[in-house]
């Protein structure tokens, strides 16, 4: 399912060399090409040229010129039968390096499978990346409904169980700095949009050792998360289980929370990490 189309203001300033970007000193053509790749990655169904142009704010001719260059390098591919552009194999190859660099992903998979089998819900592993959580690995539930966010997908740090679990290890000063930088967008009617309410939630997470996302990021989906630590007792990643609201009622939170917390501790130990003592700011 495609996201709602956001029309971006069409701005294509001319520069003396046709490539440098006078706004930030960057390389304009590279910036635009990466924008196209990022936009194509938003939807598995791909985009037609006109839709992609609207989505990126580029003119169709500029978008097409960049697409054909990216196609030659196999970063995108064109479905000629349906006239739709998709992410190419080279984008996957380059992106997978990010996962390989986090060499704990392979070691984490057995623990995610264990968590999935114990809870019958989808198990996830994610790390912080530029103020958001990026999903590195997932073991899908065998139930009908599966998780919406794809591997490699990003979820807001302030509105997700994974993100709040990690935020609970931060000082209040660091939390407020993130709020000031990123704001507190309302993604659903249950999203936390007040700093005081978030701090109260983080205090509860520190006490119980796990976080809860009660439809704060996606309507109909609940998530329970805990932190995985490195050898310096610093937060390395977060793991979670997520499932439909009907399968994760309120009275199941403590059960799932204890299971997730226990598996997070086991994974921490397997990676040579040290569980951190609770901090109350």
Summarize the confidence of residues 220-245 as an average pLDDT.
93
Q: For 135, which DSSP code?
A: E
- Asked if residue 55 and residue 17 are part of one domain, the reply reads yes
0.95 exceeded by the pTM?
no
User: Residue 205 has what pLDDT?
Assistant: 96
- Asked if residue 175 and residue 135 are part of one domain, the reply reads yes
* Residues of the domain holding 111: 102-270
- Asked if residue 66 and residue 112 are part of one domain, the reply reads no
CA distances from 123 to 59, 71, 89, 114, 269 (A): 41, 35, 26, 9, 19
- Asked if residue 139 and residue 26 are part of one domain, the reply reads no
Judged by DSSP in three states, 147 sits in coil
- Asked if residue 62 and residue 184 are part of one domain, the reply reads no
User: Residue 13 has what pLDDT?
Assistant: 44
Residue-wise pLDDT tens digits, 81-124 = 899 999 988 887 777 666 555 568 888 999 999 999 999 999 99
Structure tokens, 180:
């000031």
Dihedral, 48, 50, 54, 59 alpha carbons, nearest 10: 130
- Asked if residue 139 and residue 67 are part of one domain, the reply reads no
Summarize the confidence of residues 52-72 as an average pLDDT.
93
Q: For the chain, how long is the longest CA-to-CA vector?
A: 64
Closest CA to 149 of 221, 247, 52: 221
The pLDDT > 70 percentage for the chain reads 84
Give the number of residues written for the chain: 281
* Domain CATH code at residue 44: 1.10.10.10
**Which one is predicted more confidently, 154 or 55?**
55
CA dihedral over 88, 91, 96, 99, signed as positive or negative? negative
- Asked if residue 132 and residue 16 are part of one domain, the reply reads no
**Which one is predicted more confidently, 4 or 145?**
145
Q: How confident is the model at residue 16 (pLDDT cuts 50, 70, 90)?
A: very low
- Asked if residue 28 and residue 126 are part of one domain, the reply reads no
- Asked if residue 261 and residue 141 are part of one domain, the reply reads yes
**Number of domains, the chain:** 2
- Asked if residue 80 and residue 13 are part of one domain, the reply reads yes
Residue-wise pLDDT tens digits, 31-47 = 999 999 989 988 878 89
């Amino acid at each position: 399912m495609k996201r709602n189309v956001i029309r971006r203001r069409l701005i294509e300033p001319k520069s003396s060399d046709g490539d440098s970007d006078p706004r930030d000193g960057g390389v304009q053509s590279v910036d635009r090409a990466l924008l196209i790749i990022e936009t194509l990655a938003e939807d598995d169904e791909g985009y037609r040229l006109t839709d992609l142009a609207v989505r990126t704010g580029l003119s169709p001719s500029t978008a097409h010129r960049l697409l054909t260059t990216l196609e030659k390098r196999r970063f995108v591919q064109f479905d000629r039968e349906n006239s739709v552009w998709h992410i190419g194999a080279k984008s996957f190859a380059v992106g997978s390096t990010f996962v390989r660099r986090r060499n704990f992903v392979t070691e984490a998979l057995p623990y995610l499978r264990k968590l999935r089998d114990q809870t019958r819900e989808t198990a996830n592993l994610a790390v912080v990346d530029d103020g958001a959580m990026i999903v590195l690995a997932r073991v899908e539930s065998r139930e009908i409904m599966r998780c919406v966010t794809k591997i490699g997908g990003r979820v807001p740090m302030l509105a997700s169980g994974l993100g709040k679990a990690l935020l609970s290890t931060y000082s209040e000063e660091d939390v407020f700095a993130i709020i000031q930088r990123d704001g507190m967008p309302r993604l659903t009617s249950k999203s936390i949009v007040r700093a005081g309410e978030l701090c109260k939630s983080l205090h509860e997470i520190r006490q119980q050792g796990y976080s809860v996302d009660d439809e704060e990021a996606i309507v109909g989906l609940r998530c329970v998360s805990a932190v995985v630590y490195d050898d310096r007792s610093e937060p390395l990643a977060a793991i979670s289980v997520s499932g439909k609201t009907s399968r994760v009622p309120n009275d199941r939170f403590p059960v799932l929370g204890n299971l997730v917390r226990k598996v997070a501790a086991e994974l921490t130990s397997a990676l040579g990490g040290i569980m951190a003592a609770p901090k109350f700011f």
